[in-house]
Structure 1
Amino acid sequence: MACVPESPAALRRHKTSMQDPVSSLRDAAVDHLAAGRSSQAIAAYEALLRVTPGEPDDWFNLAYLQRLQRDFEASLASYDRARLLGAAGPEEIHLNRAVILAEDLRRPDEAMAELERALAISPRFLPALVNLGNLHEQRGERAAALRRYEEALAVEPGHALALSRLANLRRVDSPADPLIQRLRQALRVPGRHPAEQADLAYALGKGLDDAGAYDDAFAAYGLANQAARHSHGRTPLRYDREAHERLVDALIRQSRQPAPAAVVATPAPSVFVCGMFRSGSTLIEQILGSHPDVTPGGEIDLLPELAHRQFLPRLSQPDRPLSAELADRMRREYRDGVALRFPDAALLTDKRPDNFLFVGLIKQLFPGAKILHTRRAALDNCLSVFFLHLGPSMPYALDLGDIAHWYGQYRKLMAHWQSLYGDDIHDVDYDALVTDPRPQIEAALAHVGLGWHDACLDFHTSKSTVATPSNWQVRQPLYQRSSGRWRNYERHLGALRTALGHFAGE
C-alpha cells in the first residue's frame, strides 16, 4: 500500500498567441512532457522559466517532472512556486506536496500539515480527506482515520476507497453487520470503474472472512481479483510465467559472474528484510524496530528503482559481470537515498519483500550486508497474497495458479542465494515466531549484531508509522489465528495444492 495515493498531475497548458515569442519553447516543453520524455521536458521547462519565470502552470509541470526524476526537494520548491504565483487549484498543489513528503521523503507530519492546508482551502476536497485517513491509519490512529473516512463519505456517500478502508479499522462479527450491507450495496451501483469494484470487493472479502463466512469471502476475493485484472487500461493484466522464469534464470547466471572490484569494508547502510509478500516481513520489522538501536525504514523503493533502471537492462547479457564503475554509482545512489530519508538512523531496516529478487545485487554492492528472509507455510502464504490488492506491477497475485508459479520461482531463487550467501541470510519462520517468539527474535537480533531488548516483545505498542497492509495486525500482540488459515478455505484450494506440489505440505 502506498503511503498516499498520488493525485494524477494534470498537463497544464498556458495559453499563448501565435505571436508570443516563447510559444515554441512552451510547445516543446509540453510535447516532451506528453510524450514521457522527462529529462528533455525538464530541460525545456527550465529554459522556458528563465525567460518567463512568472507562469504558474509551467512551474507546476516542472514540479511534476522533477518528482518523476526523483528530485524531490526541487519538486517541492517548484510546486510551492506555482502556488505562490497563483496557480489554479492550490489544494491540488498541497496534495501533491503531501505525496512527496509522505511517500518519498518519509516526513508524515509535514504531509499531514499540507493536507490540512488543502482542506482549509477546500473543506470538501475528497483526496485530502481520504489521504488524511490513510496517514492516520499508518500512525495507528484509528478514531482519527475513521472520522476522515466518514467525512469523505459525507461528501460522496458511495466513495469506494473511503468505504473500503472502513473494513480495515475493525473486525466484523457477523455477515449481517451494517458495513457488509454497505459494501454489497456499493458493489451493486452500475457503471463503477473496475478499480472501485476491486477496492470494494477486497474489503467485502475481508469483512466476510472476519465473520467466518468463508465461502462467501472466497467468492468476494475472486470478484476482487477479476475486477483488479481489468482496472488498469484496456488490456487486462497478465502474468507472463515464461518471462518470469527467464528473469530468475538470468539473475542466477549473473550472480555467478566475478564480483565487482572490492569495496572498502564499511558496514552496509541497511539490514535487508525480504521474502514473499504476506510472509511476516512487516511483523519482524516492527519487532526489530522496537529495539532502541534500530530505525524501521519500511518498504523503501530505492533498490528496486536502481535495479530496474541500471541493473535489469544488463540481464540481456547475464554472462557479463557488473562493472566496478556501475556498482560504485549504484552503491552511492543507494547510500545517498537512505541518508536523505533517514539521516539519523544507526541501524536501518529496508523491508521490501520482493527484494529477494535482488539479493545477488545487494551482495555485489554491499558484500557485508545481512539479509533477514521471512518464510511462512506455503498454503497460508499464497492464499494471503490472493486476498491482498497488490497492484498492477504484480499481476501474478490475481490467480492462485499464478501465485503458485511465482512461489515456486521464489523458492528456486532463494535456494540459490542460500547456496552462495548462506551465512549472511537468516530465515525467520512466521509460524514459529507467533508460537514461541523470544527464540526467533533473539536469533534475528543476533544475526544483525544486536543483543536482546525487552521492548521487542512489546512491539505492538510502538507509535511508528507502518505503511503496509499489515498495519493493524502488527499493532496487536502476537496471535496464531493466521497459522493454518488455509483450512477455512480447503474446499477451494485443490488446484492450488496441486500447483504447489511438495511445497504445499511444508
Structure 2
Amino acid sequence: MTATVTLDDALANARRLLRDQPGPALAQARAILDAAPASAEAHRIAAQALRALGREGEAQAASLAAVSAAIHDPAMIDAALALAENRLPDAEAALRARLKADATDVAAIRMLAEVAGRIGRYGDAEKLLSRALELAPGFGAARANLATVYYKQNRYAEAVETLNAVLEGDPDNPAHANLKAAALGRIGGYDEAITLYEALTRRFPAHAKLWMSYGHMLKTVGRQDDSIAAYRHALAADPGLGELWWSLANLKTIRFDAADRAAMEEALAAAEPESDARADDRLHLHFALGKAYGDAGEAEAAFRHYAAGNAIRAGQLGYDAAETRAIVDAAIATFTPAFFAARAGAGDPAPDPIFILGMPRAGSTLIEQILSCHSAIEGTMELPDIPALALGLGREVKGDGRHWIAALAEAAPEKLAEMGAAFLRRTEVQRKSGKPFYIDKLPNNWLYVPLIRLILPNARIIDARRHPLDCCWSNFRQHYAKGQAFSYGLADMGAYYRDYVRLMAHVDAVQPGTVHRVVHEALLANPEREVRALLAFLGQPFEAACLSFHANARAVRTASSEQVRRPINRDGVGQWRAYDAWLGPLRDALGPVLDAYPAVPPRFD
C-alpha cells in the first residue's frame, strides 16, 4: 500500500470517527498531522472534532491552520488558478464540490464568496464570508473581503467598522487603509480619510492612483490648490493615466494650456491601438481633451473628442432607453390618485429628509449648497439608499429588482412604514450637525418619487429643472465615476429627459403641491425671490446666509463642487449653442419637451 493510500485511509477513518467519537477523531487527525503537517483536510477534521468537544478556541485555530495548509492542496490550487484566469464557472463548480464534501472548509468558503462578489451577488458573498468568520474569526482575509462586500453594497459605516478590526491585526496593510479612507469619504469622515491618504502617499510617493484618490478627497473638502497639486504629482508618475487628466478637467474651473493638450494627445496616441485594456484611459483622455479644446474655442475638435469618449463608455454600459420608458409607463399606470388615497397615513411620519432630484447637471448641487447654509438644514451628499430600498423590495417580492413597482403595489402599510424607517436608519450616519432636516440630493431619485411619497409622506421634494439643451449638453460633457448610463448618447439622453418630465408631470397631477420645482434659469435671474419661495415650501424662515452659499466651506462630492464655491453666475447658460450643429439627435429625442420649455429665459438683471 502506498503512502498516499495510507493517508487516504487514515483520513477516511478520522471522518468515520468524527460522526460520534470526536475524541478519537481528534487523536487520529493529530496523528495524520504528525506525519503530514500540510494536510488541510486533517486540520479541518481536527477543527470539527474540537468544536464537537466544546473547545472553540482551539477549533478556530485549527480552521486557520487548514487555510494555511490549503496552498498545498491540488484541488484548491486548481480553483485558485481558475479564479485568477477569471474562469468563474470552473472555479464555482470546483469549490461547490469541495464544500459538498466538507462544508467547513473556510478557504473554499472564502473563495466561493469571491466568485459571488465578482458576478455581483454581494448578498451571497456576505453570507458566505460571515459563515467563514463564524468558523474562523481570526481569518483576516475573509474579514477584509467582507469589508469590500459592505463597500460594494454602499454600507460604508459597516465597511469602516470591519476594516478597523482588520487593521488591528494587519496595521501596515496599505490596501486596507486605502479602502478605509475611501469608505470614510462616503460617510463624511473627511479629516480621517485625508490623514490616511497623507500617510499612504508618504509611503508610496510614486503611486499615481493613490495620489489621485488623495486629490479627490482634497477636492471634496474645497482644498482646490492642494487637489491640483496632488493630481499633477500623480501625472508626473504616470502621464498616461487618463483618469488623472479627467480629474483635472472635472474641476471645471481650470483651463488646460497647449502643453497640456499636447501631453494628452501623446497619451491618447500611446493608448492605441484600441484595446479593452486601455479603453478607460482613452475615454478619460477624450473627455479631458473635449474640455481642453472647448476652452480653446475649437468646438469641432471638442465635440469629436466628447463623442469618442461617450461612444466608448456607451459600449461598456449598454443602456436601454426602453427599460426606463417601461418603468415610467408602469409608474404612471400604477400610482393613481386612488392608489395614494388608499394608502393615506401609511409610511414613516418623520419630516426630516429633503430630497433634491431631477436630471444630473440641472443645478441640484447649487440648491443643496444654498439650503445647507440654513440653520435648520444639513447638506449631506448623493445618497444611494432610495434606489437600494426600491430594488431590494423588487428582489424580495418579485425576484427581480426591476419589478419594484409591482412589489410596491402589493406592499402592506406596515411595510411602507418599515421602508421609511429603514431609510432614516441607513442615512443616520450622514447626519453630523444635529440640524432637524437633512438633504439627499441624488438626482436619479426622480424615478422613485412615488416611493418616497409612500414611505416618507412628510419628506419634502424639490425638482431641479434646467433648460433641456443646456442640461443634456452638460451631461454629454461629463464622465461619471459610476451610473448615469443614459448620458453617453445624445438620443438616449433626450429620451431620458422626456421620461423624467413625463413622470414629474404625472406626480404633479396626482399629488399636487407635493413637489416644488426650482427652474435653474429663474434661480440665476433672481436668487432671493427663488430662495424665499423654496424656504417657504420647506416651512422655514428666510436667512440671508443662504444667499452667501459660496462662502460655505462644507464638503461637496459632486462634479459641481468647485462651481458652487463661486457666487451666482451665468457661465453655464447657453454653452450648447457652440455645438448646435451636432445636436440633432438630442433635439429629435427631446421633441415636444424642448418646445414646451420657456422660450424666453428669465431676465438677468
2:427 matched to 1:338? yes
Q: Select which of 241, 251, 272 maps to 2:355.
A: 272
Given the alignment of the two structures, is residue 454 of structure 1 paired with residue 544 of structure 2, yes or no?
A: yes
Name the counterpart of 1:116.
198
Distance in 1 (CA, whole Å) between partners of 2:346 and 2:554 is 34
Stretch of structure 1 that moved more, 208-217 or 40-49: 40-49
Q: State the Cα distance separating 1:503 from its structure 2 match.
A: 2.4
Matched residue, 2:108: 27
Superposed displacement of residue 408, structure 1: 1.1
Relative distance call for 1:68 and 1:260 in structure 2 (3 A) is farther
1:153 equivalenced with 2:243 (yes/no): no
Please state if 1:197 is matched with 2:276: no
Q: Does 1:423 align with 2:513?
A: yes
User: What is the CA deviation profile of residues 232-282 of structure 1, one whole-angstrom value per residue up to 9, with x for unaligned ones?
Assistant: 4xxxx3222222221111122232235547248844221111111111111
> Which residue in 2 is equivalent to 1:293?
376
* Pair 504,32 (structure 1): closer, same or farther in 2 beyond 3 Å: same
Matches of 1:53 and 1:356 in 2, distance apart? 43
- Does the 8 A contact of 1:250 with 1:318 survive in 2? no
For residues 438 and 164 of structure 2, what CA distance do their matches in structure 1 show? Answer: 31
Please identify, of 34-43 and 333-342, the stretch whose mean Cα deviation from structure 2 is larger.
34-43
Aligned counterpart, 2:309: 224
Establish whether residue 377 from structure 1 lines up as the match of residue 467 from structure 2.
yes
Partner of 1:7: none
Match in the other structure for 1:328: 417
Q: How does 1:172-321 map to 2 (within 5 A)?
A: 177-191=258-272, 193-230=278-315, 232=316, 237-256=317-336, 257-258=339-340, 259-260=342-343, 262-263=345-346, 266-311=349-394, 312-315=401-404, 317=406, 320-321=409-410
Deviation, structure 1 residue 412: 0.8
The 1:26–1:265 alpha-carbon spacing in structure 2 relative to 1, beyond 3 Å, is closer
- Paired AA for residue 111 in structure 2: V
1:489 offset after TM fit, Å? 1.4
CA 1:369–1:74: 2 relative to 1, 3 Å: closer
Q: How high is the TM-score relative to the length of structure 2?
A: 0.75
Q: Which residue of 2 aligns with 1:76?
A: 160
- Judging by fraction of residues, say which structure has more helix: 2
Q: CA shift at 1:431, angstroms?
A: 0.7
RMSD: 2.6
Aligned residues of 2:348 and 2:417 also touching (Cα < 8 A): no
Q: Which residue in the other structure is 2:142 paired with?
A: 58
Change (3 A) 1:215 1:314: closer
Alpha-carbon distance in 1 for matches of 2:262, 2:456: 52
> Whole-Å Cα distance in 1 between the matches of residues 318 and 446 of structure 2?
22
Given that residues 260 and 321 in structure 1 are in contact (C-alpha distance below 8 angstroms), is that contact kept between their aligned partners in structure 2? no
Gaps in structure 1 of 5+ consecutive residues:
1-12
Displacement after TM superposition at 1:444 (Å): 0.8
Larger deviation, residues 279-288 vs 335-344:
335-344
Residue 95 of structure 1 is aligned with which of 175, 178, 181? 178
State the match for 1:486 in structure 2: 576
Q: 1:216–1:301: structure 2 CA closer, same or farther, 3 Å change rule?
A: same
Unaligned runs of at least 5 residues, structure 2: 1-66, 77-101, 395-400, 598-605
Q: CA deviation at 1:314?
A: 4.3
Given that 1:226 and 1:398 are in contact with CA atoms closer than 8 Å, whether structure 2 keeps it comes out as: yes
Q: In 2 relative to 1, CA 238–22 (structure 1 residues): closer, same or farther, beyond 3 Å?
A: closer
The 8 Å contact of residues 487 and 493 in structure 2, kept in 1 or not, is answered as: yes
Distance in 1 (alpha carbons) for counterparts of 2:226 and 2:211: 11
User: Within 1, Cα distance between the matches of 2:292 and 2:254?
Assistant: 5
Q: What CA distance in whole angstroms lies between the structure 1 residues aligned with 2:303 and 2:370?
A: 31
Instruction: Describe the shift of the 1:171–1:183 C-alpha distance in structure 2 as closer, same or farther (beyond 3 A).
Output: farther
Deviations 1:145-183 (A, max 9, x none): 011112212222322222222224465668x63222222
Relative to structure 2, which stretch is displaced further, 409-418 or 44-53?
44-53
Residues 264-313 of structure 1: per-residue CA shift (max 9 Å, x gap)? 88442211111111111111111111222211122111111111211555
Rounded Cα–Cα distance in structure 2 between residues aligned with 1:172 and 1:217? 16
Q: Distance in 2 between matches of 1:151 and 1:478?
A: 32
Change (3 A) 1:15 1:273: farther
Matched-pair contact (CA < 8 Å) for 1:288–1:294: yes
Instruction: Write the letter of the residue equivalent to 1:337.
Output: R
CA contact (8 A) 1:79 1:97 kept: yes
Given that residues 171 and 210 in structure 1 are in contact (C-alpha distance below 8 angstroms), is that contact kept between their aligned partners in structure 2?
A: no
- What SS does structure 2 have at the residue aligned with 1:35? helix
User: 460, 480, 504: which one pairs with 1:390?
Assistant: 480
Matching residue within 135, 149, 162 for 2:217? 135
The alpha-carbon distance between structure 1 residues 501 and 49, as it changes in their structure 2 partners (threshold 3 A), is closer
* 1:388 maps to amino acid: Q
Letter of the 2:362 counterpart: S
Q: 1:75 to 1:369 in 2, by over 3 A?
A: closer
Which piece of structure 1 moves more, 319-328 or 205-214? 319-328
1:138–1:15 Cα change, 3 Å = farther
Query: In 1, distance between residues paired with 2:155 and 2:585?
Result: 47
Does the C-alpha gap of structure 1 residues 473 and 326 become closer, same or farther in structure 2, counting only changes over 3 Å? same
2:486 counterpart SS class = helix
Q: Using the alignment, how far apart are the partners of 2:157 and 2:471 within structure 1? A: 39
C-alpha deviations, 1:14-66, integer Å up to 9, x for none?
A: 55245999972321232133124544544443443344443432222232233
Note if contact 2:346-2:416 (Cα within 8 Å) is conserved in structure 1.
Answer: no
| Distance across 1 between alignment mates of 2:479 and 2:259 | 23
For residue 474 of structure 1, what is the aligned residue in structure 2?
564
Aligned partners of 2:184, 2:344: CA distance in 1, in Å?
Answer: 36
> 1:320-351, CA deviations, whole angstroms, 9 ceiling, x for partnerless residues?
34322321221111010121221523211111
**Aligned residue identity for 1:442:** R
d(CA) in 2 for partners of 1:495 and 1:25? 54
Separation of aligned partners in 2, 1:318 and 1:83: 41
1:271 alignment partner, SS class: strand
Residues of 2 paired with 1:77 and 1:348: CA distance? Answer: 24
Structure 1 CA distance for aligned equivalents of residues 252 and 382 of structure 2:
24
Cα distance in 2 between the residues matched to 1:454 and 1:357 = 33
> Larger C-alpha radius of gyration, 1 or 2?
2
Task: Tell me the distance in 1 between the aligned counterparts of 2:372 and 2:266.
Answer: 41
State how many pairs are aligned: 486
The 3 A distance-change label for structure 1 pair 14 and 113 is farther
What is the rounded CA distance, in whole Å, between the counterparts of 1:91 and 1:270 in structure 2?
A: 37
* Post-superposition offset of 1:392: 5.6
**In 2: Cα distance, 1:242 partner to 1:146 partner:** 40
Match of 1:67 among 151, 163, 182: 151
Distance 1:190 1:123, change over 3 A: closer
Distance 1:171 1:244, change over 3 A: closer
